[in-house]
């Protein structure tokens, strides 16, 4: 592999990793607070793709971006209210099935409404600008993704670590009743989690689809699974962990495919995950808190 090819692969991997990281954070946050693997997250991400397609058909892209973020946030919060909130006191598995149900529903609804055919994702001209450095060529979005990811993540970490809201989120994650006794509005806190997670998914979707150019009802499935793995690998519930996981998976996937082992690219992701879990049973950055006996 020549040096130029190597750099090109790195670029692809890092950019992919950045988008993964943004989605992984959504999984991680919702898990952190509801202990719920939000299977629908991947499909919220997919819907964000469609929102952009529709929005761009009537508005310029500058206006579409906030519309897409807003729309995705509304969708995320709506799902929470309709499918998860009524199940607050239900067994964990029921909520998980509810999440799978929402995921199926979004996929099938999208298939039904927009057909299974891929729809072209609108090109956002500045993001698509070709940048050429020597032999390496890529569009701006490829360079932008990791940078934007890092900035957003720092903001988020600040929110979680340094503010009262962050503390309330961590409290709610352990015990609803006692949190209520502290005066915490748990529903608002949970909604906020979904707002943040969905907004990040929307940003992630813009970056991801701009790079990949088309959306289908099943576009979310594979990245969804990978991002979930990224979240677990990093230590589910931990934001920096999700980011590390995202980049790790983005890079390893790209290189595996590049080396001709594309059958094994997903398998390798999982192998990596299992190996890491064997040495760190709660992921790279996960809190290793067992209840005291």
Partner 1 sequence: MNQTVWKKRYSFYLSLLVLLVALGLLFWLEVNKSNYGMAVSVIQKSLVFSVVAVSMNLLNGFTGMFSLGQAGFMAIGAYTTAILTIPLSRVDGVYYMKGVAPWLKGVKTTLSVLPEPLLIVFALLIGGMIAGIFAFFIGIPVLRLKSDYLAIATLGFSEIVRAVISSPQLDRVTNGSYGLKNIPGFGVTQAGGVLPVGAGSLLIPFFFALTTIAFIVLVINSSYGRAFKAIREDEVAAEAMGINLLKHKQLAFVISSVITAMAGGMLAMYMRSIEARAFSVTLTYDILLIVVIGGLGSVSGSVLGAFVVTFAKDWFLRFFDSPLVIGGFQVPFLRMGFRMVVFSILLMIVVLFYRRGLMGSSEFSWKGIFRWIRRKKEGVETTKGEMIDYPDPPPAKPAPLIPDPPGAPQEGGRDER
Partner 2 sequence: MSLLEVRDLYVSYGGIEALKGISFDVEEGDIVTLIGANGAGKSTTLNCISGLVRAASGTIRYNGEEIQNMDSQKVVSRGISLVPEGRKVFPNLTVRENLLIGAYLRKDKAEIQEDLRKIYELFPRLEERHWQAAGTLSGGEQQMLAVGRGLMASPHLLMLDEPSLGLAPQLVKDIFSIIVRIQEMGKTVLLIEQNANAALNIANRAYVLSTGEIIKSGAGKELLDDQDVKDAYLGVQA
Partner 3 sequence: AQTPSAPTDEQPSSDKVIRIGVFQPVTGENGGGGFQEVLGIRYAHEKFPTIDIDGETYAIELVEVDNKSDKTEAVTVAANLVSRQVSIVIGSYGSGVSIAAGPTFEEAQIPVIAPSATNPQVTEGNDYYFRVCFLDPFQGKVMATYAIDNGATKAAVITQLGDDYSSGLGNFFLKAFADLGGEIVSEQQFQTNQTDFKAILTNIKAADPDVIFAPSSIATAPLLIKQARELGITAQIMAGDTWENQTIIDNAGEDAEGVAISTFFDENDTSTPLAGEFVTGFKEFINANSEYYNKNGGDGVAAVSALGYDAYLTAYEAIKAAQSTDSVAIRDALVGIELEGVTGAIAFDENGDAKKNMAYIKVIQGGQFTFDKTVMTE
| Residue 32 structure tokens | 């952190």
Residue 130 found at the interface with partner 3 (CB under 8 A): yes
Exactly one of 94, 137, 163, 214 binds partner 1 (CB under 8 A); that residue is 94
Encoded one letter per residue, x for contact with partner 1 by CB under 8 A and - for no contact, window 248-287 reads ---------------xx-xx-xxx-xx--xx--xxx----
CA dist 113 → 56, 100, 281 (Å): 18, 20, 42
- Give the shortest CB-119-to-partner 2 separation in angstroms: 43
Q: Which is nearer to partner 3, 173 or 219 (CB)?
A: 219
| Contact by Cβ (8 Å): 21, 149 | yes
Residue 221, sorted as left (phi over 0), alpha (psi -120 to 50) or beta, turns out to be alpha
Does the footprint of partner 2 cover residue 291 (CB under 8 A)? Answer: yes
45 near 52, Cβ under 8 Å?
A: no
Q: Does 94 bind partner 3 (CB under 8 A)?
A: no
Nearer to partner 2, 132 or 291 (CB): 291
Among 221, 252, 272, 282, binds partner 3 (CB under 8 A): 221
Q: For residue 187, count CB atoms less than 10 angstroms from its CB and return exposed for 0-12, middle for 13-18, buried for 19 or more.
A: middle
289 touches partner 2 (CB under 8 A): yes
263 binds partner 3 (CB under 8 A): yes
Integer Cα distance of 14 and 250 in angstroms: 6
Based on the shown chain and the rule CB under 8 A, indicate whether residue 47 belongs to the binding site for partner 1: no
Spatial CB neighbours of 124, under 8 Å, sequence gap ≥ 6: 61, 65, 206, 210
Query: Using CB under 8 A, which of 5, 108, 178, 263 touches partner 2?
Result: 178
Contacts to partner 1 from residues 56-85, by CB under 8 A: 83
Closest approach, Cβ 285 to partner 3, in A, equals 26
Binding of partner 2 by 170 (CB under 8 A): yes
135 or 287: CB nearest partner 2: 287
128 part of the interface to partner 2, by CB under 8 A: no
**How far is it, in rounded angstroms, from Cα 199 to Cα 206?**
11
Please say which residue, 47 or 273, places its beta carbon nearer to partner 1: 273
- List interacting residues with partner 1 (CB under 8 A): 31, 35, 37, 39, 83, 86-87, 90-91, 93-94, 96-98, 100-102, 104-105, 108-109, 111-112, 116, 225, 228-229, 232, 236, 263-264, 266-267, 269-271, 273-274, 277-278, 281-283, 293
- List interacting residues with partner 3 (CB under 8 A): 1-2, 4-5, 8-9, 12, 16, 111, 115-120, 130, 132, 137-139, 211-214, 216, 218-219, 221-222, 254-255, 257-258, 260, 262-263, 265-266
């Amino acid at each position: 592999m020549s040096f130029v090819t190597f750099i090109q692969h790195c670029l692809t991997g890092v950019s992919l990793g950045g988008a993964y990281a943004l989605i992984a954070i959504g999984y991680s946050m919702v898990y952190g607070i509801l202990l719920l693997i939000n299977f629908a997250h991947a499909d919220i991400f997919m819907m964000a793709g469609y929102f952009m397609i529709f929005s761009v058909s009537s508005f310029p892209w500058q206006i579409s971006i906030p519309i897409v973020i807003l729309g995705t946030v509304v969708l995320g919060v709506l799902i929470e209210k309709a499918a998860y909130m009524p199940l607050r006191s239900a067994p964990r598995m029921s909520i998980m099935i509810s999440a799978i149900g929402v995921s199926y529903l979004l996929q099938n609804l999208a298939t039904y409404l927009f057909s299974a055919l891929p729809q072209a994702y609108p090109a956002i001209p500045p993001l698509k600008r070709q940048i050429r450095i020597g032999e390496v060529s890529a569009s701006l979005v490829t360079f932008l993704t990791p940078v934007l990811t890092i900035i957003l993540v720092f903001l988020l970490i600040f929110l979680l670590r340094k503010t009262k809201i962050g503390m309330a989120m961590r409290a709610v994650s352990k015990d609803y009743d006692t949190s209520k006794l502290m005066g915490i509005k748990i529903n608002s806190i949970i909604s906020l989690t979904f707002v943040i997670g969905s907004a990040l998914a929307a940003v992630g979707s813009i970056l991801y689809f701009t790079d990949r150019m088309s959306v289908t009802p099943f576009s979310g499935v594979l990245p969804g699974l990978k991002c979930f793995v990224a979240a677990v690998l990093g230590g589910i519930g931990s934001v920096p962990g999700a980011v590390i996981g995202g980049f790790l998976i983005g890079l390893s996937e790209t290189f595996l495919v590049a080396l001709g082992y594309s059958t094994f690219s997903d398998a390798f992701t999982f192998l990596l995950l299992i190996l890491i879990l064997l040495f760190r049973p709660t992921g790279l950055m996960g809190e290793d808190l067992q209840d005291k006996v």
